[in-house]
């Protein structure tokens, strides 16, 4: 069973900028996010200790005036390829829950097919 089979909520792709001052001096890129975790790509090889909590500052892509927010995360997995690191993090807290929730709602709405919305309106 892979990790995606264990997830209970939606996971949304986006390419937001990530500042992770505890891990990397260069900005990283958000690859996907859910209410429970996220996947991040770092432009260089970084040391990631799975025992340490860290802070990710997320600057959403230009979608509907979304504001930056911060997450406290814990690494779950890491993989190095061609001198870059990808890592999966579980979200263990945020003081910006309304911004995270709004961000996930915007990403969710962007994934809904317009024909699916029409079908819902006709059926309900």
pTM above 0.75, yes or no: yes
Please name the residues in contact with 65: beta carbons below 8 A apart, sequence gap of 6 or more.
none
Burial class (CB in 10 A: 0-12, 13-18, 19+), 103: buried
* Residues linked to residue 54 through DSSP beta bridges, in sequence order: 73
- 5-19, 22-36, 82-96: least confidently modelled range: 5-19
With a cut of 70, say whether residue 118 has pLDDT above it.
Answer: no
Please tell me the distance from the alpha carbon of residue 107 to that of residue 11, in angstroms, as a whole number: 9
Percentage with pLDDT > 90 across the chain? 54
Over residues 99-108, the pLDDT tens digits come to 999 889 888 8
**Residue spans of alpha helices (H) in the chain:** 3-6, 97-111, 114-123
Can you point out the beta strands (E) in 1-124?
12-13, 17-19, 28-33, 37-42, 54-59, 69-81, 84-93
Q: Could you tell me the two tokens for 115?
A: 């024909």
Q: What average pLDDT score do residues 113-119 get? A: 52
**Alpha carbons 32 and 7: distance in angstroms, whole number:** 13
């Amino acid at each position: 069973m892979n990790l995606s089979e264990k997830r209970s909520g939606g996971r949304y792709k986006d390419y937001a900028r990530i500042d992770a001052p505890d891990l990397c001096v260069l900005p990283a890129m958000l690859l996907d996010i859910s209410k429970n975790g996220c996947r991040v790509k770092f432009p260089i090889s970084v040391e990631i200790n799975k025992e340490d909590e860290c802070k990710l500052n997320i600057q959403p892509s230009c979608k509907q005036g979304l504001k930056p927010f911060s997450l406290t995360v814990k690494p779950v997995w890491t993989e190095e390829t061609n001198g870059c690191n990808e890592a999966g993090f579980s979200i263990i807290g945020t003081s910006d829950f309304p911004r995270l929730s709004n961000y996930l709602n915007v990403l969710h709405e962007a994934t809904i097919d317009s024909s699916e919305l029409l079908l819902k309106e006709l059926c309900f």
